[in-house]
Amino acid sequence: MFLSSAVFAIDPASVCQQIERFLQETMQSLARSGIVVAISGGLDSSTVLSLAVRAIGKERVTGLILPEKQGNPDAERYALLMAREVGIRTKTIDISGLLAKAGAYDFILAHIPTRALRDRAVRMYLGAVRKNPFLEIIRGTKDPMVRKGFATMNSKHRMRLVMTYRFAEERNLMVTGCAHKSEDLLGLFVKFGVDDNADVMPLKNLYRSHILQLARYLEAPDEIVGRTPNPDIIAGVSDKYRDVLGLSAETLDLILFGLQEAGMPPRRIAEDLDLPVERIVQIEEIVRLTKHMRNPSLAPLLLPPPEER
């Protein structure tokens, strides 16, 4: 096997039909009256939104927008663009006040007055540090500033989860999440956050390369399909794959496919993609170290006492 985009070829019409049927059947089994999707105007939530509308009709789908005062304003703009495209109603709940009470704006970065200056400060920091902060975190960093920044960022996603479920449960809606296999394997999501928890995750077993095909089949706006994977809550990061891991989403998908699906050794993947083998080994380490995030509540496997075996 040679690694190329061809390994991700799917029949998008068939995949969409399967997901739509899954949404219909699960909503019925959970006795829910409709679907709510926390939307950011990105590729993933826009694709899920389209699938939900196709599955149960626009009248029963709600797009939930959860801005905060230091988030990326583009997220709300693109979210509303996609909502208009599929004709659904939206609800906006500003979570800034809740985050302030939880101390999410106590971190030093939050005191920089404008988004542009915060972006610049983060880019300067990332350019100056010798170690990758993401790798430091998953390896168990001892740096208290990195830990505090990480906790602050994660609290924003967790607050969004709380508000999403409150909104859903008050209206008997099925929370439909937007996580996918690429970010899942790389740990590029918030454990116990809005991007990790939902009643259903229709894209969970698809790579980002697959989702691009679905979005094009569903005729999502070019502005949505062409958007970089922007994490919204991380200042200075406009593409979480390139800015955090130094590789494009397309390249990372191929590495993950080689490691996870094809069982290829790192050296062979490196040769196919013309990359240093050390980069492949690093991604392999990330997949291993973030395993706990994909199994969120670890528990011991208890055995009976020896005399009872």
The reported pLDDT for the residue numbered 135 is 86
Query: What are 64-89's pLDDT values in tens digits?
Result: 999 999 888 889 999 999 999 999 99
**Structure tokens that stand for 156 in this block:** 């924003």
199: pLDDT strictly greater than 90: yes
The reported pLDDT for the residue numbered 309 is 61
Q: Which CA distances in Å does 124 have to 103, 234, 236, 245? A: 25, 14, 9, 16
The reported pLDDT for the residue numbered 297 is 86
> How far is Cα 24 from Cα 61, in angstroms, rounded to an integer?
12
276: pLDDT strictly greater than 90: yes
Q: In the 3-class helix/strand/coil scheme, how is the chain assigned residue by residue? A: CCCCHHHHCCCHHHHHHHHHHHHHHHHHHCCCCEEEEECCCCHHHHHHHHHHHHHHCHHHEEEEECCCCCCCHHHHHHHHHHHHHHCCEEEECCCHHHHHHCCCCCCHHHHCCCHHHHHHHHHHHHHHCCCCHHHHHHCCCCCHHHHHHHHHHHHHHHHHHHHHHHHHHHHCEEEECCCCHHHHHHCCCCCCCCCCCCCECCCCCCCHHHHHHHHHHCCCCHHHHCCCCCCCCCCCCCCHHHHHHCCCHHHHHHHHHHHHHCCCCHHHHHHHHCCCHHHHHHHHHHHHHCHHHHCCCCCCCCCCCHHHC
C-alpha atoms less than 13 angstroms from C-alpha of 262 in its C-beta half-sphere:
19
Residue with tokens 């990359």: 275
Mean pLDDT computed over 30-45: 96
The reported pLDDT for the residue numbered 24 is 98
Mean pLDDT computed over 110-114: 81
Residue 62 phi/psi, 5° resolution? -125, 135
Return mean pLDDT, the chain. Answer: 92
Q: Give SS3 for 16.
A: helix
Containing 134, the helix (H) or strand (E) segment is helix 133-138
The reported pLDDT for the residue numbered 60 is 98
Mean pLDDT computed over 120-141: 79
Mean pLDDT computed over 123-145: 79
Q: Which of 72-81, 122-131, 142-151 has the highest mean pLDDT?
A: 72-81
Task: Indicate the DSSP class of residue 239.
Answer: -
1: pLDDT strictly greater than 90: no
- pTM to 2 decimals? 0.91
Which CATH number does 11-106+155-232 carry? Answer: 3.40.50.620
**Structure tokens that stand for 88 in this block:** 């659904």
